[in-house]
Every structure is written in structure tokens, then in C-alpha cells.
Structure 1
Amino acid sequence: MAKIKKLDTRLANQIAAGEVVDRPASVLKELIENSLDAGANQIDVEVEAGGTKRVLVRDNGSGIAQDDMALALDSHSTSKIYDLDDLEAVSTLGFRGEALASISSVSRLTLTANTTEQADQGWKAMSVGR
């Protein structure tokens, strides 16, 4: 009989990511949904090699504040819900805080953002798989 053991963090993250992003089209879907949830009315998409080499999504949504960038790639980090009651009134495409975390765990991800209030500035968060 095989012994039960806890998976290491990197392996657990990659397995969980497979539930959200199982192919390049899933990555694109999640990023476009984030854009729409941010109120974007213009979304530009660039894809190389069917999304296996590069997926770029640029939008004019409300953005991510600089002090939120540190959490943006962490699992269960979201701006959509804050408590259990919020689950009853979810009106966005995404809300679980898993899309960016999942994408970052299985790819090289560069998240570049600003806000409409600070449109002349920008900041980055980067991840190279976890």
C-alpha cells in the first residue's frame, strides 16, 4: 500500500492551476474576463505560436493599484469579494482570485499595470512558475 504524503508546494500549485488554465485558450479567457471585470471597453490581444509562446492582453480597464500588485499573483487574492455574504451577490466573471495565480504557477508571467488615476505611471509583478 502506498504511503500518504503531503505534496510539495510547487507540485500542488501546478495541479491546482490545471483546474483553471489547462491550455493557452484558458489563459486567454481568464485574462479577457479580468479585463472585462475591470470595466475595459477596449481589449487588444496578441498570441504567438497558438499561445504556447506568448499571450499578451492589453486593456483600458480600471487597472491594479501599485500597493495591490504584491498580492495580485497570490492564490485566493481578489478585489471582487471580501466575505461570505459577497458570494450571494457576485456579478463579475471572476471572483475566486485564482486566475493570475494559476497562470503564474505554470508560466513566465509579467503583469504590468497602472490605474486610471495614475495613467502616466506603471508597475510590474513577475513570476517564473512556482
Structure 2
Amino acid sequence: MGRIRILSDTVANKIAAGEVVERPASVVKELLENSLDAGATEIRVDAENAGRRLIRLQDDGCGMLRDDALLAFERHATSKLSDVKDLLAIATLGFRGEALPSIASVSRLVLETRSAEEQTGTAVEIAGGKLLRCDEMARPVGTTISVRDLFFNVPARKKFLRSDQTELAHIGSLFTHYSL
């Protein structure tokens, strides 16, 4: 047996992603919960190839400030908690700060967002957990997240996905759950 060592951030993020992101429906769930927590009243979800090729979620929620848009992809970064006492009064669907970094570590992701507090929006592009760009952009208040090529860098996870019909059924059951 080898010596004990600390895993690199890349390996640790892929392992953590496996706990949060099991299939395309897991991505939809996490993004949908973020939209609901952001106060969105209109949410649109598009999927190609049952979410394997693309999952795009667009909302009219509060959006994010530029600095927060970047920070949101760091593990354990959250706007919901600042102290252990806050755990007793959680009133949101998400709070751990794991979803976005986990999704970004196993996909090619573009986040486009704007808060009412800023005149311009922000576009953040990440592939396999690596920041590729962060630019200003014109857009309305709210957020659009496009997740492409899910599990492109984790072939073992991709291999265990079921048929498109099964994966779409999982996504459909999410909508039934949240609409009730």
C-alpha cells in the first residue's frame, strides 16, 4: 500500500462531483433549486441528448454580482450560511456551496448573470473545473447556465448513464416533484 497523501484539488473536485452529480437530472435539480432560491418566477430548461450534450437553465431570479459569479465556483462558497448557528434556520433548498463547483468540474459550463445592482452582466466560462474566461456582457437581470458535454472528463460516469428515455424520465419526475 502506498503512502498517505493529500489529493489535488482537481481529483478532490471530481470525487466530490460524483456525490452531487450522478446524472443529468442531478444537474437540473441543483440548478432548479438555485433558481428557486434566487426568487425566480420564470424558469426555462432546455436539454439536448437527454442532458448529455446540453442542459440550459434560464431564470429571472435576482442574478449575481460579478465577484459572486466567480466565487460561486469555489467549493463551500455560499450566500446562505456564515456561521454554524445558521444551520438551524436554513430556509433555502441549497446551502452547502457544492453544486456549481461539482457541476463545473465534470462539464463545460457557461454562466451568464446580472444583478439589479450592476449595469452590466457577467459571463463566466469553465471547463473541467478550470476558469477559461470572465467577461462583461449585456443581459437582463437573472441567470442563464449552460452545461455542455456532461462527464466529458469522467468516462466511467458517462458509461453508467442510462438510455435517453430513462434519463429524460428522471428529469421529468423532477418537474413533477417541484411543480406540486
Q: Normalized against structure 1, the TM-score is what?
A: 0.93
CA distance in 1, matches of 2:72, 2:125: 10
More strand by share: 2
Q: Superposed, which structure 2 residues align to 1:112-123 within 5 Å?
A: 112-118=112-118, 121-123=120-122
Runs of 4+ aligned structure 1 residues displaced above 6 Å come to none
Say which SS state the counterpart of residue 36 (structure 2) adopts.
helix
| Number of residue pairs the alignment of both structures matches | 129
For residues 87-125 of structure 1, the C-alpha deviation after alignment (integer angstroms, 9 at most, x for no partner) is 10000000011110100011111111001344x621111
User: Please, which moves more after superposition, 101-110 or 3-12?
Assistant: 3-12
Q: 2:11 aligns to what SS in structure 1?
A: helix
- Counterpart Cα distance in 2 of 1:52 and 1:25: 10
**1:1-130 alignment to 2 at 5 Å?**
1-118=1-118, 121-130=120-129
The share of aligned pairs that are identical, in percent, is: 52
Query: Counterpart of 1:111 in structure 2: which amino acid?
Result: L
Give the root-mean-square deviation of aligned CA atoms. 1.3
Stretches of structure 2 that go unaligned for 5 or more consecutive residues are 130-180
Give the deviation of 1:79 after TM superposition: 0.6
Letter aligned with residue 127 of structure 1: I
Say whether the 8 Å CA contact 2:40–2:60 is kept in structure 1.
yes
Equivalent AA in structure 1 for residue 90 of structure 2: V
Superposed CA deviations along residues 51-78 of structure 1, whole A, max 9, x for unmatched, are: 0000000000011012212201111101
- 8 Å Cα contact 2:114-2:121 kept in structure 1: yes
Q: Distance in 1 between matches of 2:9 and 2:121?
A: 31
Cα distance in 1 for residues equivalent to 2:26 and 2:8: 25
TM-score (norm: length of structure 2): 0.68
After superposition, the C-alpha distances for 1:20-69 in whole angstroms (9 at most, x for unaligned) are 11111100100000000000010001000010000000000011012212
**Within 1, Cα distance between the matches of 2:2 and 2:120?**
54
